[in-house]
Amino acid sequence: MADSFTLPLRPIHEKRERPDTLPVEIAQINNQWGSFREVNEDVLRNKIAEEEEKDGMDEVDESGQDATDLDSTERLEQLYKRRAEITQFAMQAHMETMFALDFVSLLLSKQSPRQAETSMSAFLKQVAPLGSLNAEVVNPPPKPESTTKDIAAVSRGWRIQNFNAAANKLLQAASRLETEVASETRYWNEVLAVKNKGWKISRLPREKQALGVQYGFLEATPVFRDRGLASLRRAEDGALLLDEGLIPSKARYVRVRVIQDGRLTGSSKPTRSSLDGDRTIEDRILQARDTVYEEELFHELVREARAIASLGVTTRQNLIQIPASDDLEVLLDLVDTDENTLQPEHDITQQGTSLAEGLAHTIRILLAYAHRQNLRRRTLLPPPLTPKTRSIPEQQLIRPALAYIKHMSHVRWLQSLLKDLFGVLQSADLELPAYTTRVFSTVRQRQTSPDPKVETLVGQFLTPLLSTFNGKILTPRGSFSIAIHTNLSSPPFGTTFDVSFNMPKYSDLQSPGKISHRDDVEAAITHLLLLDVVFTISSKSSPRSDRDQVKRTWEAIYPQHGELLLSPSKSEKRKKMKIALSRHELSLEIYTVRCIDGTGRGKCEHPSYHSVPHTWKPSIAGSPNQPSLMDFVSKV
Amino acid sequence: MHEQSLFASVPVHQHHELLQQLAGLTAMQPRHCLERRLIFKAYRKPGLAGRVGATQDLQQADLQRLNKMLNGNMYYTQVVGPVSERDFGSTAPVDRDIQMAGVDDSKPSGTSSPSYDYERQQWKLEFRDIPEAGTRSAVTSRLMSSATLPRGDVVQAMNAWGYHFTTEYLVEGDMFVLNDIAIFLHRVLHYPGGDELNTPRRQLPALKDMVLFEKSGSYVLQAFIIVQDGSNQETMKTASQHLFGLREQLKSAVLLEQADRLSLDTRAK
């Protein structure tokens, strides 16, 4: 804008464009070359040839001279000569100037002798006394009438011409100002519209004349906080331009993809579809804000992913791979919003999509929460200044979400395990009381904290996750409880199962306590239920005992192996029962033993004559010919 | 720890505007603070001051140090307790015995009616030395230390440490934080009815009855940085550089300057 700005009232010096230059030139040409009538092709050709020849001669001459005269001494001599010439000219000029100065000084010395004396040369002062020269105005001889007329006409024309030029310049300036005002009005109206929408408008710190809009997040990492300020420039026509500096104008977002069993089952959509073409300034500010948020999000995700590499998270240049649970894998990457129109995937499922969308929302909410925490930390009384700089801890973005996924996976696994085991027992007509499940039974924080509700809500999500399973077993007054802790934020990392049970019969039995492996948990629970079954069988007396007048009971000799022994009776051999419980079946086998105490094993055990291993499976639970465990036991 | 600070006086008509300016500068809302401040004076316990007799054995180094400590300067110390506006002009909690028993510890006091419980008041001991003399830097720098005290009545504990209660006053103000710098815009209030008490008040009068110490109601702006290691010249320099940066930023609003050293003298004569 500044270069097209010309001050309309500056002195005019455009004399060359006067309309009478052409006649003058024509007269010149006529004088120099003769009339135009004599010009024809031959003459011109001759002229051209002549000129070329001359040029060629000159060149040849010069080159020849260069070749021959390129003697250093001669050149030097020439140089000295030229220099002397220049000096001579300069001296002469100086002398003439001094003469002129002396003359003027002498002339002035009549009027102001003191001042004139200073510029007089010493020689002149000696020779001529001060004030010896005077000047007077003489009336010029009267000019002829025609000359004065001419002069008047010329000056009049000259003046008119200047007035015209000045008027033009003024009109131009006026129209230019008009457009300028219009575009300024438009610019400021748009700035005002942006401000009225609630954006923060301020001067740029580096460039005091420019306005900027603050759309970033004050609590973001410094790099991204500083990028949250863009200047509002004015286009030629006054439209508002958002100058985002180095930020790519493309909208980008963090894409969450869920891979189940090696197939892509879900992918998150961009929060705001990129609009091309006519976008209002607010759309562009919003897009810039979103992009800066997404980039910060990805930056923080990568930082966190590096910190939790021990959980199997791998990072590449623009990709984070998180093995979430069993066969679920989550991929995070930063992509352009319009890149999402990939080839349609056939494996996309509703569940996968909702998981991906949920994860995408979770990490964004957690980043917003982290911003709030940053504000809180920033406004606390600062800790004492120390020479070492405090490192910024990684934000918790992936870990809570990952903990949730892992926790849910463990909870589902435990639920299915219990369902299987209870199903097996049910198929044998052993009715276990239902157990209670409290998923996410983390201790609720007291609502006395002054934090806003939403922060408390998110804060709970960051605490270690806990789910509890409580239930009763067949043994009277017996109970079990399993607590699943998942904690990825602070050591000890990972999931632990806290299995404890209360069996009055085996009071010296220790609860297994904290277990971190699924197989061990399964073994512990199965063992517990086996003990429970064994105890139930041994506590029920056999109905056939009334015939022999002796109370016959199965005695649990090795309950931990599931072995029971039938109390001795006169008529029968000792019998031994072996129960095995697994997730899939409950099997029972009867042996006849010869050993007196019944504890002997090995060759003196024989499978009972009428008993093949009897199994109960939940799949055939409905078959009517299946006797219940208790019936079977009592028949033996 | 060392405290480096700069001070400015803020007339009451500028107070609101300065609050706005500071809120903009620090990008945070002011945190309103009300603090009870009890002043304790150290006294020399009889019998500990001098060493009598048995001068034949050489004084051990730690004994020497103890002597130096006991016979050195005596200082006034402050005990600071944060209070809230609800605590003023309220009565003592009626169910204090229940609270004392710890039955209902979690229940916040004063949910039903505002009450101030002196027994549950938090306290912090704050020691400030006289500012260092002859420092070349243009900030007030002094040795400081603070420690958390048990809740409730502190006079007994302080007496046991050789301090007796002198007087108390109230500080009202707003706190801002700019990176390492804490900015505290505050003024001092006195309790109505003079200082005839020689124990801290168990009840607080209504806030509007408090008497301004400075009659015009003007505020003091204190910008300070606490430095962990005062002997580390580099951090001390960084801290004063930060303070000078703030002074430049606030130049058009207030003039932050070094305080008169002797007016911050905490020595007990």
List pLDDT tens digits, range B61-98. Answer: 777 776 666 667 788 889 999 988 888 876 655 544 44
Q: Which residue has the higher pLDDT, A5 or A577?
A: A577
Distance (Å) from the C-alpha of residue A388 to the closest C-alpha of chain B? 10
CATH number of B2-48+57-86+117-264: 2.40.320.10
User: Can you give the pLDDT at residue B99?
Assistant: 43
The mean of the pLDDT values for chain A is 78
A448–B226: do the CB atoms touch at under 8 Å? no
* Residue B111 DSSP symbol: S
Confidence grade of residue A97 (pLDDT, cut at 50, 70, 90): very high
User: Can you give the pLDDT at residue B111?
Assistant: 44
Q: Which residues of B touch A218 (CB under 8 A)?
A: 27
pLDDT score of A8 more than 70: no
B8 touches chain A (CB under 8 A): no
CA distance A530 to A505: 13
User: Can you give the pLDDT at residue A11?
Assistant: 46
pLDDT score of A535 more than 70: yes
User: Can you give the pLDDT at residue A546?
Assistant: 45
Q: Is the previous residue joined to A492 through a cis bond, with omega within 30 degrees of 0?
A: yes
The residue in chain B having the minimum alpha-carbon distance to the alpha carbon of residue A448 is B108
Domain count, chain A: 3
User: Can you give the pLDDT at residue B184?
Assistant: 92
- Residues 105 to 134 of B: which have CB under 8 A from any A CB? 106, 108
Quick check: is A391 in a domain?
A: no
Token code pair at residue B157: 């504990």
User: Can you give the pLDDT at residue A16?
Assistant: 54
What pLDDT, in 10s, does the model give residues B108-147?
A: 444 445 677 788 888 898 888 888 887 777 888 888 888 8
Quick check: is A211 in a domain?
A: yes
CB within 8 A of A490, min separation 6: which ones? A464
Distance (Å) from the C-alpha of residue A196 to the closest C-alpha of chain B? 19
**Residues A252 and A362 occupy one common structural domain:** yes
Comparing CB atoms, the residue among A385, A446, A448 nearest residue B235 is A385
B27–A385: do the CB atoms touch at under 8 Å? no
Give the residue from A377, A385, A448 with the most B CB atoms within 10 Å of its CB, the best one to mutate. A385
User: Can you give the pLDDT at residue A181?
Assistant: 92
A378–B177: do the CB atoms touch at under 8 Å? yes
**Residues A301 and A413 occupy one common structural domain:** no
Distance (Å) from the C-alpha of residue A543 to the closest C-alpha of chain B? 56
CA distance A163 to A172: 14
**Residues A271 and A310 occupy one common structural domain:** yes
A11 touches chain B (CB under 8 A): no
What pLDDT, in 10s, does the model give residues A181-190?
A: 999 998 888 8
Quick check: is A387 in a domain?
A: no
B177–A448: do the CB atoms touch at under 8 Å? no
Token code pair at residue A388: 């070492």
B231 touches chain A (CB under 8 A): no
**Residues A413 and A317 occupy one common structural domain:** no
Compute CA distances B15 → A350, A361, B2, B33, B220, whole Å.
Answer: 59, 43, 28, 15, 10
Q: Which residues of A touch B80 (CB under 8 A)?
A: none
**Residues A465 and A613 occupy one common structural domain:** yes
pLDDT score of A234 more than 50: yes
CA nearest to A527, candidates A593, A451, A596, A580: A580
Confidence grade of residue A91 (pLDDT, cut at 50, 70, 90): very high
Residue indicated by tokens 């806030």: B207
pLDDT score of A14 more than 60: no
In chain B, where the domains are located: 2-48+57-86+117-264
B225 touches chain A (CB under 8 A): yes
pLDDT score of B105 more than 60: no
CA distance A236 to A217: 31
CA distance A182 to A179: 5
CA distance A348 to A342: 12
E strand segments, A101-209: 200-203
Q: Once rounded to an integer, what is the mean pLDDT over residues A566-583?
A: 70
Quick check: is A189 in a domain?
A: no
B233 touches chain A (CB under 8 A): no
Distance (Å) from the C-alpha of residue A387 to the closest C-alpha of chain B? 6
Query: Any idea how long chain B is?
Result: 269
**Residues A120 and A228 occupy one common structural domain:** no
Residue indicated by tokens 């909870």: A411
Quick check: is A192 in a domain?
A: no
Distance (Å) from the C-alpha of residue B61 to the closest C-alpha of chain A? 31
User: Can you give the pLDDT at residue B149?
Assistant: 86
Other Cβ atoms within 10 Å of A448 Cβ, number: 9
**Residues A406 and A319 occupy one common structural domain:** no
Q: Once rounded to an integer, what is the mean pLDDT over residues B233-248?
A: 89
| Structural domain ending residue among the three candidates A105, A129, A153 | A129
The residue in chain A having the minimum alpha-carbon distance to the alpha carbon of residue B31 is A379
The residue in chain A having the minimum alpha-carbon distance to the alpha carbon of residue B109 is A448
**A-B contacts (CB, under 8 Å):** 41
Q: Once rounded to an integer, what is the mean pLDDT over residues A480-509?
A: 78
B237 touches chain A (CB under 8 A): no
A388 touches chain B (CB under 8 A): no
CA distance A521 to A517: 6
User: Can you give the pLDDT at residue A29?
Assistant: 83
Give the residue from B2, B33, B177 with the most A CB atoms within 10 Å of its CB, the best one to mutate. B177
pLDDT score of A495 more than 70: yes
Token code pair at residue A122: 């010493």
Q: Which residues of A touch B232 (CB under 8 A)?
A: 387
| Structural domain ending residue among the three candidates A326, A343, A377 | A377
Contact (Cβ atoms closer than 8 angstroms) between residue A452 and residue A490: no
pTM of the predicted protein model: 0.69
Q: Which residues of A touch B182 (CB under 8 A)?
A: 381-382
Distance (Å) from the C-alpha of residue B224 to the closest C-alpha of chain A? 10
**Residues A343 and A430 occupy one common structural domain:** no
Rounded to the nearest 10 degrees, how much is the dihedral formed by the CA atoms of A231, A235, A240, A243?
A: -30
**Residues A363 and A416 occupy one common structural domain:** no
User: Can you give the pLDDT at residue A88?
Assistant: 96
Confidence grade of residue A446 (pLDDT, cut at 50, 70, 90): low
Other Cβ atoms within 10 Å of A416 Cβ, number: 11
pLDDT score of A66 more than 60: no
User: Can you give the pLDDT at residue A10?
Assistant: 46
A443 touches chain B (CB under 8 A): no
CB within 8 A of B196, min separation 6: which ones? none
Q: Once rounded to an integer, what is the mean pLDDT over residues A313-334?
A: 85
Quick check: is A191 in a domain?
A: no
The residue in chain B having the minimum alpha-carbon distance to the alpha carbon of residue A450 is B108
- Residues 198 to 237 of A: which have CB under 8 A from any B CB? 218
Q: Which residue has the higher pLDDT, A9 or A615?
A: A615
A377 touches chain B (CB under 8 A): no
Q: How many Cα atoms within 13 Å fall on the side-chain side of residue B206?
A: 2
Q: Of the given ranges (A124-133, B54-63, B198-207), which has the lowest mean pLDDT?
A: B54-63
Helices (H), A197-280: 222-226
The residue in chain B having the minimum alpha-carbon distance to the alpha carbon of residue A218 is B27
User: Can you give the pLDDT at residue A40?
Assistant: 82
Distance (Å) from the C-alpha of residue B180 to the closest C-alpha of chain A? 6
Q: Which residue has the higher pLDDT, A244 or A20?
A: A244
A379–B28: do the CB atoms touch at under 8 Å? yes
| Structural domain ending residue among the three candidates A377, A409, A429 | A377
Q: Which residues of A touch B106 (CB under 8 A)?
A: 446, 448
The parent domain of residue A272 ranges over 201-377
Confidence grade of residue A339 (pLDDT, cut at 50, 70, 90): low
User: Can you give the pLDDT at residue A570?
Assistant: 55
User: Can you give the pLDDT at residue A100?
Assistant: 93
A382–B232: do the CB atoms touch at under 8 Å? no
Quick check: is A113 in a domain?
A: yes
**Residues A219 and A359 occupy one common structural domain:** yes
3-state SS, one letter per residue, for B162-214 = CEEEEEEEEEEEEEEEECCEEEEEEEEEECCCCCCCCCCCCCCCCHHHCEECC
What pLDDT, in 10s, does the model give residues A358-412?
A: 888 888 898 998 888 888 888 888 888 887 877 777 888 888 888 888 888 888 8
Q: Which residues of B touch A387 (CB under 8 A)?
A: 229, 232, 234-235
Q: Which residues of A touch B181 (CB under 8 A)?
A: 382
Confidence grade of residue A79 (pLDDT, cut at 50, 70, 90): very high
Quick check: is A15 in a domain?
A: no
CA distance A214 to A229: 5
User: Can you give the pLDDT at residue A78?
Assistant: 92
Distance (Å) from the C-alpha of residue A381 to the closest C-alpha of chain B? 7
Distance (Å) from the C-alpha of residue A2 to the closest C-alpha of chain B? 33
Distance (Å) from the C-alpha of residue B182 to the closest C-alpha of chain A? 7
Q: Which residue has the higher pLDDT, A559 or B209?
A: B209
**Residues A566 and A624 occupy one common structural domain:** yes
Comparing CB atoms, the residue among B28, B108, B232 nearest residue A448 is B108
